[in-house]
Amino acid sequence: MALDFPPFEPGTVWLVGAGPGDPGLVSLLAVHALEHADHVVHDALVDSRIVAMAHPGAVIESMGKRGGHASPRQGAINARLIELARAGKRVLRLKGGDPFVFGRGAEEALALAEADIRFRVVPGVTAGIGGLAYAGIPATARDCNSSLAFVTGHGQDGDVPDGFDWDGLARGAQVLVFYMALRQLDRVVERLLAAGRPADEPAAVVSKAATPQQSVLETTLGRLVEDLAAHPVDPPALLVVGGVAGLRRQLDWWSPA
């Protein structure tokens, strides 16, 4: 393939999205970065098959957040990226999904900018779009929604943000996609119902999307907590609320290889 890729310069950091799981969803620029990086710093969400695509001489380091588990502080990750770049390495910071969607990529890029280290961002397929697609749930469908909101179930302090305008959210977007929602799921559901979302609205919890362990719980907002207690799922998982979740009945196309 005669594509002109930008050179991966020593002393620079590439912040690269690895997508939700399936290695086939990794971009050509991400593959280029994997082939040329001296040092790969990946977070816990990145599929091991993708990390394994790195150049055999590359140093591989796992450094990332994982809800509920001990994980390095963000400051330590930023400092490590800066240290490696200053040592003249080609540093690949590999993150699950898209680096700029709830992935602390912005914080890392800001730290690099402040330290005067050149960086490039390679967007990835975010779980809230590509992961849902693997569950047969389109992000938008003409008959269902003309708006879509991505929401995090964790605030700065690791909790559902209390200062959040739940009424505004419930009215403001027809489809709501929650990242990191599992631990706070009952509170999220309670607040959405209190804010007027109907109990019979389709909802789904998509776990380990686009991986061989993908599982999907199809339910309604009113039954969600009870159904999930009966059929627990593993993180990482997304919660989607809105008409598009009901389309899975017809659009469930994917089955693990």
Is residue 202 a contact residue for ligand SAH (CB under 6 A)?
no
**How far is the C-alpha of 234 from the C-alpha of 188, rounded, in Å?**
18
Among 97, 136, 202, 242, binds ligand SAH (CB under 6 A): 97
Q: Which stretch binds ligand SAH (CB under 6 A): 34-42, 70-78, 187-195, 209-217?
A: 209-217
Closest distance of CB 169 from ligand SAH, Å: 17
Is residue 219 a contact residue for ligand SAH (CB under 6 A)?
no
Q: Which residue shows structure tokens 């469908």?
A: 141
Helices vs. strands in the chain: H and E counts, helices first:
10, 10
Is residue 126 a contact residue for ligand SAH (CB under 6 A)?
yes
* Structural contact between residues 37 and 9, judged by C-beta atoms closer than 8 angstroms: no
Query: If phi over 0 gives left and psi between -120 and 50 gives alpha, with beta otherwise, what is residue 47?
Result: beta
Phi, psi (degrees; rounded to nearest 5) at 75: -60, -35
Query: Is 200 a catalytic site residue?
Result: no
Closest distance of CB 177 from ligand SAH, Å: 9
Closest distance of CB 236 from ligand SAH, Å: 4
Is residue 33 a contact residue for ligand SAH (CB under 6 A)?
no
* Structural contact between residues 171 and 153, judged by C-beta atoms closer than 8 angstroms: no
Considering the complex, state which of residue 34 and residue 180 has its C-beta at the smaller distance from ligand SAH: 180
Considering the complex, state which of residue 96 and residue 202 has its C-beta at the smaller distance from ligand SAH: 96
Q: Which stretch binds ligand SAH (CB under 6 A): 83-91, 100-108, 115-123, 140-148?
A: 100-108
* Structural contact between residues 34 and 10, judged by C-beta atoms closer than 8 angstroms: no
User: 96, 68, 64: which is closest to 80 by C-alpha?
Assistant: 64
Closest distance of CB 105 from ligand SAH, Å: 7
Phi, psi (degrees; rounded to nearest 5) at 179: -95, 155
Is residue 111 a contact residue for ligand SAH (CB under 6 A)?
no
Tell me if residue 111 falls in helix, strand or coil. helix
Which amino acid does the sequence have at 187?
A: R
Is residue 127 a contact residue for ligand SAH (CB under 6 A)?
yes
Is residue 21 a contact residue for ligand SAH (CB under 6 A)?
yes
Is residue 123 a contact residue for ligand SAH (CB under 6 A)?
no
Alpha carbon dihedral 55, 214, 251, 152, in 10-degree steps, equals -90
Binding site for ligand SAH (CB under 6 A): 20-21, 45, 95-98, 101-103, 126-127, 131, 179-180, 206-211, 235-238
